[in-house]
Amino acid sequence: MKFNVALAQISPALGDLGKNLELYKKTIADAREKGAHLVVFPELSLTGYFLKDMVPDMAQRLDSEVMKELCHLSKGISIVVGFVEESRDFQFFNSTAYLEDGRVAHVHRKVYLPTYGMFDEQRYFATGDKVRAFTTKFGRMGMLICEDAWHLTCGCVLCLDEVEHVIVISSSPGRGIAAKQKLATAETWERLNWSYAKFFGVYVIYANRAGFEDGVNFWGGSEIIAPGGDVVVRCPYHKEDLVVALVNSDLIRHERIASPMLRDERIDVTLDELKRIKAARLSEAR
């Protein structure tokens, strides 16, 4: 299967839901005009990232008017949304929703909430407790949010759940300097995305935001990496962009025949060893 993916590297306004919804609508319309079948927005791009005490005010239930409007827009083009989700028991999650054909096809709640450096997500958000693949009209998808992808077990679980395309959305600030004056965060993300694509034989669809917020720069660099590690497309650093690129699922088959890592994965051994490690830790804690 072949389909076009749009990376929506936008710069949302902090705490301005109305303005960001209009930006979403314009970007979706532009993606349609460019022939996209799927458009992927960054983490918390419906609200801005450093929300802090604004989290409850920005939160959306899955049946809210905002989500209904976005679902309506997903008729004819699938949409990945980054937003604050409010559950029925009044918990708030850093979530991403996959909208398709006018409905919410899947929701992923961020599992790993960073609390180091400039990050303090656990103070404002509840933690997700599931990492699941799901079926779409473009194949088997899985979604991760920023820090989730830095815990390699999340990617491993998705790929063992027969995922073909790993969608990663982030609001990654620019931090550190690597070789040749390149941002350390950019270099790390590019190596990470390459590793997932290379060793699991999947497409990695990575959408990062751009712009500034509370004096923090978000470096952009959204990209699509093909199975085997080739860069399909990469957005520029430090500025907004909307790039559409072709994803060819036939390459997944080719790569997994050439490098059958998932075929040879020993889930039983992994489970046994994890149980042993867990038991040892529990014993040490007593």
Q: pLDDT digit string (tens) for 153-202?
A: 999 999 999 999 999 999 999 876 665 667 889 999 999 999 999 999 99
Q: pLDDT digit string (tens) for 99-131?
A: 999 999 999 999 999 999 889 999 999 999 999
Q: Do the Cβ atoms of 174 and 219 come closer than 8 Å?
A: yes
Q: Do the Cβ atoms of 208 and 172 come closer than 8 Å?
A: yes
User: What secondary structure letter does DSSP report for 13?
Assistant: P
CATH level 3 topology of 2-257: Nitrilase/N-carbamoyl-D-aminoacid amidohydrolase (3.60.110)
Q: pLDDT digit string (tens) for 66-109?
A: 999 999 999 999 999 999 999 999 999 999 999 999 999 999 99
Residues 6+ apart with CB under 8 A from 217: 173, 174, 211, 238
Q: Say what the pLDDT of residue 174 is.
A: 82
Q: How far is CA 3 from the centre of its chain?
A: 18
Distance between CA atoms of residues 41 and 143, nearest Å: 12
C-alpha dihedral, 261 to 266 to 271 to 277, nearest 10°? -80
Q: How many CB atoms lie within 10 A of CB 177?
A: 11
Q: pLDDT band for position 44 (50/70/90)?
A: very high
Of residues 260, 263, 191, the one with CA closest to residue 229: 191
* Mean pLDDT score, 256-272: 94
Q: How far apart are the first and last CA of the chain?
A: 53
Alpha-carbon distance values, 22 to 116, 239, 254 (Å): 33, 19, 41
Q: Can you list the alpha helix ranges (DSSP code H) found in the chain? A: 17-33, 55-58, 65-73, 147-150, 152-160, 184-200, 250-258, 267-285
Q: Say what the pLDDT of residue 175 is.
A: 72
What is the residue extent of each domain of the chain?
Answer: 2-257
C-alpha dihedral, 56 to 134 to 195 to 169, nearest 10°? -30
Q: Say what the pLDDT of residue 180 is.
A: 65
Mean pLDDT of the residues in the chain: 96
Coil vs helix vs strand at 9: strand
Q: Do the Cβ atoms of 58 and 21 come closer than 8 Å?
A: no
Strand pairing category for 231-234 and 139-145 = unpaired
Strand pairing category for 203-208 and 165-170 = parallel
Is-above-0.85 flag for pTM? Answer: yes
Distance between CA atoms of residues 79 and 62, nearest Å: 14
